[in-house]
């Protein structure tokens, strides 16, 4: 579905991605795990189109999208729920979701997605008119994911969805990611919380200083000695 070939991206003067190649299969949950500064967010931003790669190629459903704008990528079905959530703090929950649907002109589809978001996240359903900046961290994360889902994506990219959340909320968010995947959306996940990510992943890659070092199924990586030592605390 998504094929990435030899991607090189600079972040300022720092070479943050050093020839990353991978693919995403339709319907799977794929994770990238790695420490702070490994290049995970740079990868997400390159895939979403807000960072331009120096070299390399991104193919989506066989089509080269390397030079497309973020907007065109969203229209094709790739969207990122960014690190730190980046919701619109002064907007209500409802207005935030409307912004996620900016590329969708089909009113019926918007209505269906709107209802779907609240089925997934009943917690924010009662808060439709609440100012988003006043939501709790967990609710803001749900809103950020919900907002991305409003674009009716084929691939949902999630950058550190567990960041700053309590263990119970982390579990809840990952259950919901699994649920979104079961409903047919392909997931590309980037996480520092390797344990939580690997448990729900079909496949995973470890990213280290801009390069893929290990790849395998979620289970394989969970039991890989190197991974256990580096990311799972022994």
Partner 1 sequence: MLLQILVNGISLGSIYALTAIGYSLIYSILQLINMSNAAVFLTSAVIFYALYTSLTGSSVLLTFILTLMAAGAIGYVIEVIAIRPIREKGDSNTYALISSIGVKTILEQICQGTFGSEIKQFPTLLDGKYIDLFGARTSAIQIIIILTTLFILGFMSWFTQNNRVGRGLRALSQNLNACHLMGMPVNTLIGVSFAVGSMLAAVSGVAYCMYLKSISISVGSAIGNKAFAATVLGGIGELKGAVVGGYILAIAESFVSGYYSMAASNFISFGILILVLIIRPTGIFGKKEQKKV
Binding residues for partner 1 (CB under 8 A): 48-50, 70-75, 79-80, 82, 84, 86-91, 95, 98-100, 102-103, 133, 140, 147-148, 151, 164
Q: Residue 188 in 3-state DSSP?
A: strand
| Residue (100 or 218) nearer to partner 1, CB | 100
**Least distance (Å) between residue 226 CB and partner 1:** 31
**Least distance (Å) between residue 82 CB and partner 1:** 6
**Least distance (Å) between residue 99 CB and partner 1:** 5
**Cβ(129)–Cβ(92) below 8 Å:** yes
d(CA 15, CA 218): 28
Q: What is the DSSP letter of 50?
A: S
**Least distance (Å) between residue 224 CB and partner 1:** 31
Handedness of CA 225, 231, 232, 234 (dihedral sign): positive
Which residue in the block uniquely carries the two structure tokens 């949950």? 29
**Least distance (Å) between residue 132 CB and partner 1:** 10
| Residue (148 or 196) nearer to partner 1, CB | 148
| Residue (86 or 183) nearer to partner 1, CB | 86
Q: Residue 15 in 3-state DSSP?
A: strand
Handedness of CA 188, 73, 43, 64 (dihedral sign): positive
**Cβ(194)–Cβ(227) below 8 Å:** yes
């Amino acid at each position: 579905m998504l094929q990435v070939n030899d991607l090189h991206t600079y972040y300022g003067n720092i070479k943050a991605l050093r020839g990353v190649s991978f693919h995403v299969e339709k319907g799977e949950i794929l994770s990238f795990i790695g420490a702070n500064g490994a290049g995970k967010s740079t990868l997400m931003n390159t895939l979403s189109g807000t960072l331009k790669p120096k070299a390399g190629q991104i193919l989506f459903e066989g089509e080269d999208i390397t030079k497309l704008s973020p907007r065109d990528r969203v229209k094709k079905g790739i969207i990122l729920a960014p690190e730190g959530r980046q919701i619109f703090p002064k907007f209500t929950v409802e207005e935030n979701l409307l912004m996620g649907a900016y590329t969708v002109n089909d009113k019926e589809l918007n209505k269906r997605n709107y209802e779907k978001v609240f089925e997934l996240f009943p917690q924010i359903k009662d808060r439709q008119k609440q100012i988003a900046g006043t939501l709790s961290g967990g609710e803001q994360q749900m809103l950020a994911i919900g907002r991305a889902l409003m674009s009716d994506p084929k691939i949902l990219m999630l950058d550190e969805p567990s960041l700053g959340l309590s263990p119970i909320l982390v579990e809840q968010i990952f259950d919901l990611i699994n649920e979104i995947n079961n409903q047919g959306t392909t997931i590309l996940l980037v996480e520092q919380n390797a344990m939580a990510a690997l448990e729900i992943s079909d496949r995973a890659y470890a990213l280290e200083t801009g390069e893929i070092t290990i790849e395998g199924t979620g289970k394989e990586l969970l039991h890989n000695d190197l991974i256990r030592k580096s990311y799972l605390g022994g």
